[in-house]
Each structure stands twice: as structure tokens, then as C-alpha cells.
Structure 1
Amino acid sequence: MTRWLGVALLPSAEHTRTAIQLQKDVGGEHRLQPPLSPEGNLPHLTVFQGPFVDALDPVRELVTIGASVSLPSELHLTSTGIVYQPTGWLFMSVERPLLLDKLQEAVLGVLDPYLDRSAFDTAKDTSRFTESERASFTRYGYRYTGDAYAPHITLGRTGEEAALELVRTAPERTSVPVHWTFDRLSFYVMGEHGAHAEKLVERPLDLT
């Protein structure tokens, strides 16, 4: 049986609360979906997600990932603002330091053998993907790897016109914190729109 799972960086408790409030402030009456909450869909920065075979052991592989790359106890990232992503997505984008690239490379190296490529959505409309995003999707079943990696916290999704308007007017309704702290790695079950619906296991960034 195919399991749809992901690996993510989780923000600190303070910034988890901040992200939940940011979704509400940015979305306003549109109520971006799915709603973020500390008990349900956690705010997160996806490193990779996709379909996996049953042989994957999240507990074991998260330890392997942590041992594959040297991480600090806290990862401090700078927000680059609220951005629109086709179709209908609102992201809080963050900088992409070399360490994030190394982390994703480590995750892909560990998890690639467990990918269920037969479950890739080959019928998906990728016409609005960039060339790098299409290449990533073809190889890994996920839009944002390698050159196409775009670190972000997903604030949610709404109608196309509404999303464009919300991004344009976001500065009028909220002020996005510049500095964000992430302190854990999580292996999670994907929910609606790839949400962090269920935490399977989490570990501190610095596993030593």
C-alpha cells in the first residue's frame, strides 16, 4: 500500500503560533485552506514529500537523515515575504541557504529507494510549472527539488483571483516577521493540499 508522507522542518513553538496567526491575517474572510493549528495541520517547511512503499520506516530513516547532515540545534531563516504560487497558493517564502540544499540532498539520498514511482500523478497539469519544476516532478513526484527547491511555509490555498489579490494586499493587513526559527525535523502524513496532517515522529535538529 502506498503511503503519502513527508519530511519537514518545524518552527519553534513561538513561530508555530506566529504562522497560524499569519494565515488568518493574510487570508481574512477568504479563510485559506487547510486551516493551520497546533493540534492538526502544523505549520511546516517541507523538505520533501511524496508516495512511499510500506517498507519505509519513518523512525529509522529520520535518524539516518539526521546523521547524514550536520545541523545546528536551531536553524534561523529569513523570510522573503508573502508570495503567490500557481495555482491559488499563498506561501511565506524564506531564504535558501546552502544548508537547506544539503538537507534536501540528504533526505533524497535516504528516501529515493522507497519512492513509489507508480503512484506519481502523470496526468497532473504541469503547464504552469517552470522547466526545473517539471523536471523535479518527473524525477521525484514533487515539484520543489534541486534547482526548483523553494523553501516556504504554506499559508494555504484559495481561488486564483482571490489569491492574487491577497498577495497584493497582504502588506496592508499584516507585517511578516523577518526572522524565523526551526528546531525539529518531522516525518509526517500528508493531508489536504499536502498539509502536515499527522506527525509520525519528530527529532531535534541536532541529533548528536
Structure 2
Amino acid sequence: MRFTQGSQGAGQSREQERDTGKMSMRKKSSVVPPKIGDRRSNHLAPTNVVRQSANSRISSVSTVSFMDEPHEPMRGPPVRLEPTFQLKPNKKFPVVQVKNILKDVLESYLSEEKYEPELCRQMTKTISEVVKARVKDLQVKRYKVIVLIHIGQLKDQGMRMGSRCLWDPENDTFSSYEYKNNSLFAIGSVYGVYYE
């Protein structure tokens, strides 16, 4: 089949018109996908869409939050911080003052009490809270305060109490006091454990 120059030129011009029409459509409105390797190209999250028009370069941008996605670790040398702990206390635990607090509280609460199991159960809780509050008022920093109060009926029996603790003998200490009246006995112990 032979084409004449006129028909061949007409065929080319129609193809050129179609191509130029497609090009002009692309220039008016197009969608630019995100780059490969961009964090926004995650198939689970919607991607950013940028529309370009003939008059303005970017007409709208939709954003997506990536707060829940894992992020890259920080690059560079790690930040070094100075240690803020103390190895020794500024002020030692006041054993004598704590013993005076125990004596004062036990004598004031139990001087006229008779042994009753239910009442003594509540008294141990109350006395331990009062002693703990008064020891904390001494404001000895960095010491954990542990208060144990034992109240029992006084009859002709023998009793021994002991305790074992794992602690630093230079900084940790305790104070205790025994109280007796006609019907009961009470033993109060306060442990001061230094917390680094």
C-alpha cells in the first residue's frame, strides 16, 4: 500500500494532535506519587498526593501522621550525663531522736490500755502510722523508713523477737523501744535504710 505525501502528513498530524492533547492534559492536572524509599510510601497508610496545575505549581497537599510507625534511631554520639546519685548520706539517721519518738508515742497511746485483741490490732496500725509520720518530719533525706509495732498480752510467758536484714552497716541502722504496763507489752522498731 502506498501513501501519498498528503495522506501521510495528515496521519502524522492527527497522531501529533492526540499526543499533544495528552501532553496538555498532563500539564493541566497530574498526580505526583511519593518517591520510592520515602517513608510516606507505606502501603498501609494513605500517601501524600500533590496536584499540579498550569497556573500554580502545588495546589493542595494532604498530610498523614506517622507517629505510630517505628522511627530511625538517632545518629551521632550518645549523650553522656553526669551521675546524680550519692554514695553516702549528708546526714546520718538519728537513732536517739527516733528512740525518743518511739518512747513518747508508745507511752502516750498505751499507758491506760488493757489488752484486747481487736483493739490492739487497730492500735498497731495507728501507732506505726504516727511513728512513721513523726520520723519523716525529721526530714532525713534518702532514707526509707520501716516501722514495726508488736503488741501482746502480758502473762507469765517468755518471748524472744529477732530480725534479720541485708543492709550496709555504715549507713543503715535501726532504733527500738520496749514498753510494758499491767496487761500488755509493746515493742516498736524503726529501720532506716539508705536509698542511693
Query: TM-score, normalised on structure 1?
Result: 0.25
Using CA pairs below 8 Å that are at least 6 residues apart, which structure has the higher relative contact order? 1
Query: TM-score, normalised on structure 2?
Result: 0.26
